[in-house]
Amino acid sequence: MTNPILQIIIASTRPGRVGPSVASWINERAIAHGGFDVELIDLAEVNLPMFDEPKHPRFRQYVHQHTKDAFIFVVPEYNYGFNAAIKNAIDYLNAEWQHKPVGFVSYGGVAAGTRAVQMLKQVVTTLKMVPMFDAVNIPFVQQFLDADRKLQPNDIMEAAATAMLDELVRWTASLRALRQPAAQATA
């Protein structure tokens, strides 16, 4: 049996951003965890245009090729909220998000990106995603970067990552039946 696919999505697209450092760490943790085959997606490199599909995503009639089993959004907090790049990526699809678990690794200053995550939870639940309770929140993220900008996590971050990944594995398996077409689910 193959592992489910976990996509880790770097939300920040700003020059000089911390997102790739944080994402590199959680990517390594997810690979070491072993519950998933892991893909790292950088929204700065994907270059999604702002919603360029002629029809609403709920119709699933895409002109352009897009989208997995589970997700981790690596998100900064901008002005007490999330950034436009992650919202655009979420809005690009509709039914493809349904019945899939999503974990969050957030970072920032004193609030550690938690305000962005709280707002994103409202968005993802509207799309029938299941946000994980367990998350990684990194306050004053700059203090965890070494001279090469590699994230040096503390024990709290490591424990939070393990808890979130364990929950993602459980929810991915539990939601699998809901993601199957109706004919397959009843067969």
DSSP state of 59: G
Under 8 Å between Cβ of 73 and 9:
yes
Under 8 Å between Cβ of 124 and 131:
yes
Distances (CA, A) of 156 to 109, 163, 187: 17, 11, 44
pLDDT computed for residue 14 by the predictor: 92
| 70 contacts: CB under 8 Å, gap ≥ 6 | 4, 5, 6, 7, 36, 100, 101, 102, 103, 168, 171, 172
Q: How many residues appear in the chain? A: 187
Under 8 Å between Cβ of 86 and 48:
no
pLDDT computed for residue 63 by the predictor: 52
What is the per-residue pLDDT across 3-13, written as a single tens digit (0 to 9) for each? 999 999 999 99
pLDDT-flagged residues of the chain (< 70):
1, 47-68, 181-187
- Helix (H/G/I), strand (E/B), else coil: 28: helix
pLDDT computed for residue 152 by the predictor: 98
